[in-house]
Amino acid sequence: MLSSRVRLIPRTVRLVHSLIYNSCHSSMDLKALLFSLNDFASLSLAESWDNVGLLVEPSPPHTVNTLFLTNDLTEEVMEEALQKKADLILSYHPPIFRPLKHITWKTWKERLVIRALENRVGIYSPHTAYDAAPQGVNSWLAKGLGVCTSRPIHPSRAPNYPTTGTHRVEFSVNGTEDLDKVISAVKRIADVSVTSFSTRTDDEEQTRISLNCSQEALIQVVAFLSQSRQFYQKTEILSLEKPLLLHTGMGRLCTLDESVSLATMIDRIKRHLKLSHVRLALGVGRTLESPVKVVALCAGSGSTVLQGAEADLYLTGEMSHHDVLDAASQGINVILCEHSNTERGFLSDLRDMLGAHLENKINIILSETDRDPLHVV
């Protein structure tokens, strides 16, 4: 009897452990989850050419118990996601980029959509929104360089202007009668806000009018002011800019606290990306012992982002042949690691950050079959 009871203990422990684990995660409605994901990294940070957000949506309501993370959604990865009962796939790269004219079994991307809908699995892609985010892919890539300070190569701007309108128009008015007439006229123009304040010019009291207006309203404002030579000659038109966002944008320019040799930097990058090989183009006049103090990096494809950046080293996944030649001719070393190798490792950090951000309400798992399609042989 005693031995029988002893054999039952491990099974009981496993059962209790399973119940505890399952109770740690509840679920989220898809719409609530999408709101939280956008709060984590706003899709407004993505490049205008990108295709981000919810790409495939099962018919509502849709409950998400398991969020599945992958860098690329291939058919092999989709099979894994289905086996692991994923309810939403977060694919860093959007599997749908160019418009699909039909959904058939003919091409692999169409098959992804069919299988997702048949199995009630959503597909979400953040792509360049995660590139730009302060806690995103490029910041993760910079962690492998050593202690450094970094800033975006191309800073992102806020999605909205700090005030209403895209332009500010300022001019001065003499006399109360003219002031009332002007303010009354401009207030009748749509998308215009008006403020005024007193000024003194050449011992003469004046009222300075400041208008914030849209691009469309600006045409009407200028047309009105041009009717009076007095106003038109004293008018200033300012184009308002959206404010820059702190630590947010494409690429990173990283300045190391202490210079290291290029050979040391290569070892650090390999270790961080878990790679045995990288591709290296030595800058003209450089050797493996040349010092590296400033690194310009861009996860994925860096040709456009890195162009013109002043650095000792460019680090990215891929660049065109001629862009590599241009950089090398300027004495800039170039390290290429293959496109997704500079991105995929971020997903481990993302899993932890999303777990905390979502308060562990859902199960978050990483793909085990996702990998870069290129191998050194």
Q: Would you list which residues are annotated within the binding site?
A: 93, 131, 339, 343
- Neighbouring CB atoms inside 10 A of 211's CB total 25
Q: Would you list which residues are annotated within the binding site for a divalent metal cation?
A: 93, 131, 339, 343
Determine the Cα–Cα distance for residues 18 and 96; give it in Å rounded to an integer.
Answer: 37
Determine the Cα–Cα distance for residues 342 and 300; give it in Å rounded to an integer.
Answer: 6
Which pair of tokens denotes residue 258? Answer: 């202490």
How is 148-161 classified by DSSP, letter by letter?
Answer: EEEE-SEEEE-SS-
In the chain the beta strands, taken as DSSP E runs, fall at 28-29, 53-56, 63-64, 66-70, 88-91, 122-125, 148-151, 154-157, 167-173, 192-201, 204-213, 236-239, 244-250, 252-261, 279-281, 291-301, 313-318, 333-336, 363-366
- Neighbouring CB atoms inside 10 A of 2's CB total 6
Q: Which helix (H) or strand (E) holds 221?
A: helix 215-225
Helix axes 346-357, 30-40, angle to 10 degrees: 120
Angle (CA) 363-364-367 rounded to 5° is 135
- Extract long-range pairs of 267-275: CB within 8 Å, 24+ residues apart: 268/144, 268/145, 268/146, 269/144, 269/145, 269/315, 269/335, 269/337, 271/144, 272/141, 272/143, 272/144, 272/345, 273/144, 273/337, 273/341, 273/342, 273/345, 274/345, 275/337, 275/341
| SS3 of residue 40 by DSSP | helix
The one-letter amino acid code at 250 reads M
- Neighbouring CB atoms inside 10 A of 358's CB total 20
